[in-house]
């Protein structure tokens, strides 16, 4: 019903290409996140989907209709703004009703719809207040409610949590997910925060320099990143160059790297002789009989684990251990399971 199809979308500002030939689909009821560092083009992409920017090239279909040149007021999309963009001179009710008034919804229906949303977002007590009198979390909920009031097929989020403090962020995150699920909305969510993306999404689109780096479920993204950029951006994997020196007995590949010889049982075949490899710092087993070792250059206690910065032959990397009594300058020995060593793109 409200499937989004984006084809070869390009946006060029003068000389700068903000989005470069991007294509993807979002299924009805699916929650997809556009994730990437600032300047990767994710917000530009969202603005094209919502209609505030007209792409230089490419097409956008929403619900089977070509909306590439449809203005935002005529699209079946509702946008939750990063700044909330609540009208400061209107009460919460006025804000929630605004879209319905534009559609000339009869007063009775309007009232019913507003109170339904107010209940859903627990804003009943706030309806008569002005936005300035609300807390950040409440303002966020009004913004969400205002978008929902239109009963849009597609809901779009532009970094909606970036103005909230950490504790509230978790709470609102669950709320967004619940509302999206309850209303079976197709959602596109823009963020630079990987933990938000992993927690909320059915699928994540990782973007870099205006192009898509990888599209995958959060689990796949974490466990089998396609490139070292994704591996590093999602969960700070250790990425380092290595050379494929042959096949191992019993499957897998033997790799030679600065930290020593490793075996990888990544189901993907190596793409070249010299490649980048990645492994998660928390998947290393720190034991005295580990085949690998390095010198600890710094340690940071993080509560549930300790972060060790380790150097072997000039290659630095991180290890995360549950508890550790090693101190700076000590040698630390560890091992890696072959299934946890990932083979990525060719190294330069």
Partner 1 sequence: MTQAKINSFLMGVLLAICTIWLLVPFTMAILWSLVDPAQPWTPDHLLPPQMSTYRWTNMWENSALKPALLNSYTLAPITAIVTLLLAMPTSYCLARVPFPGREVAKLLVLLPLVVPGFVTAIFFTAILFQLGLTQSRFLAILIAHCVLFLPYAIRTLTVGFEQVRQDHIDAARDLGASPIARFRAAYLPALRPSIFASLLIVFIQSIEEFAIAFIVGSPDFTTVPTLLFSRLGQDFIRPDAAVLSLILVVPNVILMLFLEALLKSANPTLSSGKG
Query: Contact residues for partner 1 (CB under 8 A)?
Result: 50-52, 71-74, 77-79, 81-90, 98-99, 101-103, 130-132, 134, 136, 139, 146-147, 150, 163
Pinpoint the alpha helices (H) of 133-217: 136-149, 166-182, 194-200
Query: At its nearest, how many Å lie between partner 1 and the CB of residue 140?
Result: 10
Calpha distance 27→16 (Å, rounded): 31
By C-beta, is 149 or 264 nearer to partner 1? 149
Q: Please, how many CA atoms are within 13 Å of residue 289, restricted to the half-sphere of its CB?
A: 0
**Pairing mode, if any, of strands 342-346 and 274-279?**
antiparallel
Query: At its nearest, how many Å lie between partner 1 and the CB of residue 54?
Result: 14
Calpha distance 199→196 (Å, rounded): 5
The residues, any chain, with a CB within 8 Å of residue 73's CB and separated by 6 or more, are 51, 102
Nearest to 147 by CA among 192, 201, 86, 91: 86
Taking 3-state DSSP, the helix, strand and coil percentages for the chain, each rounded to the nearest 5, stand at 30, 35, 35
Query: At its nearest, how many Å lie between partner 1 and the CB of residue 202?
Result: 24
Query: At its nearest, how many Å lie between partner 1 and the CB of residue 298?
Result: 39
Query: At its nearest, how many Å lie between partner 1 and the CB of residue 6?
Result: 19
By C-beta, is 85 or 199 nearer to partner 1? 85
Query: At its nearest, how many Å lie between partner 1 and the CB of residue 260?
Result: 53
By C-beta, is 163 or 293 nearer to partner 1? 163
By C-beta, is 156 or 231 nearer to partner 1? 156
Q: Report the helix count and the strand count for the chain, using DSSP H and E.
A: 8, 20
By C-beta, is 153 or 294 nearer to partner 1? 153
């Amino acid at each position: 019903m409200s499937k989004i199809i984006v084809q070869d979308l390009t946006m060029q500002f003068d000389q700068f290409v903000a989005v470069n030939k991007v294509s993807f689909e979002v299924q009805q009821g699916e929650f997809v996140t556009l994730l990437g560092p600032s300047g990767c083009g994710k917000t530009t992409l969202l603005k094209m989907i919502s209609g505030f920017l007209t792409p230089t090239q490419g097409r956008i279909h929403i619900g089977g209709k070509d909306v590439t040149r449809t203005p935002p007021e005529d699209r079946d999309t509702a946008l939750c703004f990063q700044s909330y963009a609540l009208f400061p001179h209107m009460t919460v009710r006025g804000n929630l009703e605004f879209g319905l008034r534009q559609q000339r919804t009869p007063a009775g229906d309007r009232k019913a719809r507003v109170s339904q949303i107010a209940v859903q977002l627990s804003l009943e007590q706030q309806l008569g207040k002005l936005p300035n009198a609300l807390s950040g979390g409440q303002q966020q909920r009004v913004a969400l409610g205002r978008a929902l009031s239109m009963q849009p097929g597609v809901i779009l989020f532009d970094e909606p949590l970036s103005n909230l403090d950490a504790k509230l962020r978790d709470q609102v995150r669950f709320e967004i997910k619940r509302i999206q699920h309850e209303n079976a909305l197709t959602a596109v969510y823009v963020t630079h925060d990987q933990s938000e993306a992993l927690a909320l999404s059915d699928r994540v689109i990782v973007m870099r320099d205006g192009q898509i780096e990888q599209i995958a479920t959060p689990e796949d993204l974490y466990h089998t990143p396609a490139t070292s950029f994704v591996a590093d951006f999602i969960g700070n994997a250790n990425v380092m160059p290595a050379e494929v020196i042959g096949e191992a007995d019993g499957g897998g590949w033997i790799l030679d790297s600065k930290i020593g010889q490793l075996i990888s049982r990544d189901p993907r075949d190596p793409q070249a002789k010299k490649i980048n490899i990645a492994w998660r710092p928390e998947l290393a087993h720190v034991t005295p009989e580990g085949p690998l070792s390095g010198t600890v250059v710094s340690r940071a206690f993080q509560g549930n684990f300790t972060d060790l910065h380790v150097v072997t032959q000039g290659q630095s990397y991180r290890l995360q251990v549950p508890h550790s009594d090693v101190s700076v300058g000590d040698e630390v020995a560890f091992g890696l399971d072959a299934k946890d060593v990932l083979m990525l793109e060719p190294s330069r």
